[in-house]
Amino acid sequence: MAQYSFLTQRIPAQIGLTIFLIVSLLFLIFFFWNLQRTQSEILSLEIYQPLSIKKAPFLGIGDPLKEKIKISAKDNFLDFERESFWLDEDFSKIRNLGQDFKKREMDSFKSSLSKENLEVSNLEIEIDEKQAKTVLSCQIKGKGIEKNSYDFNWLLKNFPFDFSKFQKQERKLIFFGKLKETDVEIYIEFQFPIEVSETKVWQK
């Protein structure tokens, strides 16, 4: 009596080819599903990448250790200042890049605001070697910025939160938090007592 088992029988060539094609198809499906998921995760990070934190992977520079944003509302424009504190290694790259870093940062900042119908003037970037920080400052005016009311959607849409997460004082909004590995502080001051919604502020 022949002593064959299922495991010792040779698989016909056609069946073997069919199994190979099925396994290959499953592998390709898994590969493209995983790629799509990775792209979605990257997109999600880009959506919630704050306007304040400027990633510059093309320059080999990581996220800042800390960022402090100060905004002062004055009639129909905003005084804006962003201090970014860096790791020594990243700051060394910024210092070596010098004007190239400044130009890329300013171009990126102006481009992001122009998409919101906002104008930027007196834009400057200072490289402070003593404190290993960069300071971007400017004035912002345009859509939603009026004498007695201000729409901050241009800023808050880049964060995973709105004004409900801020501390509200009579004439000031304050935020302390951490985004990824960066400590973030935001201070927004007004010339009058305020009322606040999710992204808008107006005179009380």
The closest of 77, 54, 72 to 64, measured between CA atoms, is 54
pLDDT score, position 32:
55
User: Using CA of residue 157, residue 162, residue 167, residue 173, what is the dihedral sign?
Assistant: positive
The closest of 97, 50, 192, 80 to 141, measured between CA atoms, is 80
Residue scoring higher pLDDT (34 or 199): 199
Band of the pLDDT at 8, cuts 50, 70, 90?
very low
With beta carbons less than 8 A apart as the criterion, state whether 119 and 140 touch.
Answer: yes
Compute the mean pLDDT over every residue in the chain, rounded to the nearest whole number. Answer: 82
With 50 as the cut, is the pLDDT of residue 44 above it? no
Band of the pLDDT at 187, cuts 50, 70, 90?
very high
Measured in degrees and rounded to the nearest 5, phi and psi for residue 190 equal -130, 165
Model confidence over 69-102: pLDDT tens digits? 999 999 899 999 999 999 999 999 999 999 999 9
Most confident of 26-40, 46-60, 120-134, 146-160: 120-134
Model confidence over 149-184: pLDDT tens digits? 999 999 998 888 999 999 999 999 999 999 888 999
Tell me, yes or no, if the pTM score tops 0.75: no
Q: What is the mean pLDDT of residues 21-42?
A: 56
Rg (CA), the chain: 26
Q: What is the mean pLDDT of residues 179-198?
A: 95
pLDDT score, position 181:
87
pLDDT score, position 7:
43
User: Using CA of residue 38, residue 182, residue 191, residue 198, what is the dihedral sign?
Assistant: positive
